[in-house]
Amino acid sequence: MFEHKKQLLHEVKVERPNPQYAVLLQEQLGGANGELKAALQYMSQSFRIKDQEIKDLFLDIAAEELSHMEMVATTINLLNGHDVDYKTVVSGEIQGHVLGGLSPLLINSSGYSWTSDYVSCTGDLVADLLSNIASEQRAKVVYEYLYRQIEDKEVRATIDFLLNREEAHNALFREALNKVQNTGSNKDFGVTEDSKLYFDLSTPGPEHKAPDPTAPTFNNPRK
């Protein structure tokens, strides 16, 4: 069950309309590393999880990602801030002007529709956690690129909040991985003699030691 609360997770403002930048921000609404993708990926993965604590973690983060999606869509609305006029968008998607009346559609910055192909769900908790850690890292990178391309202090404040929440999710997924790192695909595969071979296919070049794989860990060595 989900509950909608009318207040945003974090206040959203813009200093002035900027429809060109609104096009860029569409990437985090309907793109491959956007908020909708994250919400549905974590929710889909949760249905198979037996550990109730980790299951709740996935669903809590998925619910927060939906609130991030709401923030992004609200920011896009404020940035558009103009009547339907394709001339105000010099490049990128124009579907919002001809299909949605400037509604933030589920499309990326190039106008391609969101697709469930973005969602990764394997049924293996270790694999899904590693995928989610990478997903949060990619989302953080996109937000960093977006941050660099806008001078609007209010938009930057929104992006800064979202970027830091992605970092929080990344840390939570890493902690969950530590708890299950010797289970599933990490328990059954990947540490035979074949996994300890290195094929030097770049000769002449620097020598590399043969790999000695172990279960991955993200524990802080300073602790």
- CATH number of the domain encompassing residue 32: 1.20.1260.10
Extract the annotated binding site for Ca(2+).
56, 60, 202
Q: Examine residue 219 and state whether it is found in any structural domain, yes or no.
A: no
Q: Examine residue 24 and state whether it is found in any structural domain, yes or no.
A: yes
Q: Examine residue 180 and state whether it is found in any structural domain, yes or no.
A: yes
* 48-67 per-residue burial string, b: 16 or more CB within 10 A, e: under 16: ebeeeebbebbbebbebbbb
Extract the annotated binding site for Mn(2+).
35, 65, 68, 136, 169
Higher confidence at residue 174 or residue 193?
174
pLDDT confidence of residue 188: 57
The domain tally of the chain equals 1
Mean pLDDT value across residues 106-132: 94
Q: Percent of the chain at pLDDT above 90?
A: 61
- This prediction's pTM: 0.84
Question: Chain-wide mean pLDDT for the chain?
Answer: 87
- Least Cα distance to 80 among 110, 100, 98, 103 occurs for 103
Q: Examine residue 194 and state whether it is found in any structural domain, yes or no.
A: no
d(CA 149, CA 158): 14
Q: Examine residue 13 and state whether it is found in any structural domain, yes or no.
A: no
Q: Examine residue 33 and state whether it is found in any structural domain, yes or no.
A: yes
Range of the domain at 117: 19-185
- Positive or negative: CA dihedral 45, 51, 54, 55: positive
Higher confidence at residue 104 or residue 118?
118
Asked whether the predicted pLDDT for residue 7 surpasses 80, the reply is: yes
Extract the annotated binding site.
35, 56, 60, 65, 68, 136, 169, 202
pLDDT confidence of residue 187: 67
Q: Examine residue 83 and state whether it is found in any structural domain, yes or no.
A: yes
d(CA 113, CA 191): 40
User: Over the stretch 40-91, which tens digit does the pLDDT of each residue have?
Assistant: 999 999 999 999 999 999 999 999 999 999 999 999 999 988 777 767 666 5
Q: Examine residue 41 and state whether it is found in any structural domain, yes or no.
A: yes
Query: Measuring CA to CA, how many Å separate 104 from each of 27, 44, 85, 117?
Result: 11, 24, 15, 20
